[in-house]
């Protein structure tokens, strides 16, 4: 079937200028001129999309729920996906609640994006509630550990717009910490060294992990000694020719190395938007054609619904009545029948960003298993939400499971109805109505 979507969509009408603003890749002086509109978008967000995009994801939610309802394969490997792990201002010693740690550690592998420099050479800022550049305490990563002392994280992306917030030395210190903790990482290479991707093995499944970013913040200077895996500029524009030579090479090398499951983590998209842009969806299709089994997206700071791309007829896994709903997500590519998950934006995991919506985190589980032919397939596992709870009742901020946050009522604060309404919206936005 030829690709039909998202190559032609109806532009949204009557979108306010502040909602249409996208500062990504703008020069610093142009971004500064739009500061008021940027502040409005960060506060009020953009919940809308074109009619075609909304209808498309309505079908995708149905397909995702159908895949999740299938019986779990015996002995499946549990993989958790999380979003941005960011600067926290304070509370470094006890920000992570045991409930969140236990939930993450119940998975065999966890993947995410470390969106902060971690360097003891520089001061960890805490005077103001937010900054334009970040440096964090090592506990931001050290706190996530398993009972046997290993890190909770199986691999982390370090490719993002904050990667060089403290220059070359900050990047070196960040990578040194991850190496000390034996956390595989992708996204930055120093002095021309290191392969662009890393691998790890979990329960006999060899996973390849490659991370790339759209670019640095306009006020952060590149450094010739630090190479960040980058997505080519302009590929998200309507009608742009999509050429991804490094991703093509990396996915080919992963296959040659025997990777059973290939992950591409991308820091992309537009901040504070609740739907993926059609340009991103075009790029995602090409990345999957080249061999990716999972695209792990971060940067928008709010969550966007996932898309399942069905390759070479794998939509046959769905009930017949649902196959038409995903017709625009069917692809042809070299190789066997398979499907791939595109998590366009996981939002934040740990953060102290201003708005309530940015403080709600998403943990999406997957079950990896081998099919009858011995190839690794996947199905959705549990969906969970966490909350970066603000200080109240004399306590420091805390990263809590959502249910624990709800139950933490005190005489100082109770969870208001508008928060509960948002939790209900977010679940329906990502998973649809059950």
Per-residue pLDDT tens digits for 125-144:
998 888 999 999 999 999 99
Fold of 51-431: Purple Acid Phosphatase; chain A, domain 2 (3.60.21)
Rounded distance between C-alpha atoms, residue 344 and residue 321, angstroms: 26
Q: Are 296 and 266 in contact (CB under 8 A)?
A: yes
Split at pLDDT 50, 70, 90, the class of 2 is: very low
What is the tens place of the pLDDT at every residue in 321-378? 999 999 999 999 999 999 999 999 999 999 999 999 999 999 999 999 999 999 999 9
Residue 392 has pLDDT above 60, yes or no: no
Question: Could you tell me the pTM of the whole model?
Answer: 0.97
Percent of the chain surpassing pLDDT 90: 83
Length of the chain: 434
DSSP annotation of 317 reads: G
Q: With bands split at pLDDT 50, 70 and 90, how would you rate the model's confidence at 412?
A: low
Other Cβ atoms less than 10 A from the Cβ of 425: the count is 13
- 245 SS3 class: helix
Rounded Cα distance, 369 and 354, in Å: 40
Alpha-carbon gap, residue 356 to 367, rounded angstroms: 30
Residue 286 burial (CB count, 10 A) = 17
Distance CA 84, CA 386 (A): 13
pLDDT digits (tens, 9 = 90+) for 16-55: 999 999 999 788 888 889 999 999 999 999 999 999 999 9
Helical residues (DSSP H) of 4-77, grouped into ranges: 17-20, 28-33, 35-44, 51-69
Of 207, 206, 184, whose CA–CA distance to 195 is shortest?
184
Q: What pLDDT score does 395 carry?
A: 57
Categorize the per-residue pLDDT at 396 as very low, low, confident or very high, splitting at 50, 70 and 90: low
Each residue's pLDDT tens digit, 274-297:
999 999 999 999 999 999 999 999
Helix (H, G, I), strand (E, B) or coil at 326: helix
Whether 154 and 110 have beta carbons less than 8 Å apart is answered as: yes
Residue 161: the pLDDT is 94
């Amino acid at each position: 079937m030829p690709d039909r979507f998202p190559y032609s969509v109806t532009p949204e009408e009557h979108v306010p200028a502040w909602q249409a603003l996208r500062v990504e890749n703008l020069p610093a002086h142009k971004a500064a001129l739009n500061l008021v509109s940027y502040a409005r978008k960060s506060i009020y967000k953009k919940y809308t999309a074109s009619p075609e995009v909304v209808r498309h994801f309505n079908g995708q939610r149905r397909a995702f729920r159908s895949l999740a309802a299938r019986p779990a394969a015996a002995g499946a490997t549990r993989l958790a996906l999380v979003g941005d792990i960011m600067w926290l201002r304070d509370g470094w010693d006890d920000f992570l609640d045991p409930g969140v740690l236990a939930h993450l550690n119940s998975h065999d592998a966890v993947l995410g994006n470390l969106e902060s420099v971690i360097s003891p050479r520089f001061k960890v800022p805490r005077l103001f509630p937010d900054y334009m550049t970040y440096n964090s305490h090592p506990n931001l990563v050290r706190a996530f550990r398993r009972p046997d002392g290993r890190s909770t994280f199986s691999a982390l992306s370090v490719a993002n717009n904050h990667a060089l917030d403290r220059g070359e030395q900050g990047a070196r210190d960040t990578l040194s910490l991850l190496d000390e903790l034996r956390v595989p990482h992708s996204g930055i290479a120093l002095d021309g060294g290191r392969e662009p991707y890393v691998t790890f093995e979990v329960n006999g499944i060899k996973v390849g992990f490659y991370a790339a970013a759209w670019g640095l913040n306009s006020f952060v200077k590149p450094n010739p000694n630090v190479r960040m895996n980058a997505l080519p500029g302009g590929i998200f524009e309507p009608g742009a020719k999509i050429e991804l030579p490094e991703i093509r090479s990396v996915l080919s090398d992963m296959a040659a190395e025997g990777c059973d499951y290939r992950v591409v983590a991308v820091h992309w998209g537009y901040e504070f938007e609740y739907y993926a842009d059609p340009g991103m969806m075009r790029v995602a299709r090409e990345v999957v054609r080249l061999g990716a089994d999972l695209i792990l997206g971060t940067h928008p700071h709010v969550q966007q619904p996932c898309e399942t791309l069905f390759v070479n007829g794998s939509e046959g896994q769905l009930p017949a009545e649902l196959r038409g709903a995903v017709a625009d997500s069917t692809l042809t590519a070299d190789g066997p029948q398979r499907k791939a998950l595109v998590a366009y934006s996981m939002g934040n995991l740990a953060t102290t960003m201003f708005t309530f919506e940015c403080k709600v985190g998403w943990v999406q589980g997957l079950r990896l298993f081998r099919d009858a032919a011995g190839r690794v397939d996947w199905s959705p596992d549990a969906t969970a939400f966490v909350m970066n709870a603000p200080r109240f009742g004399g306590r420091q901020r805390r990263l809590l499971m959502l249910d624990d946050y709800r139950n933490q009522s005190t005489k100082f604060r109770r969870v208001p109805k508008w928060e509960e309404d948002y939790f209900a919206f977010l679940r329906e936005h990502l998973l649809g109505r059950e």
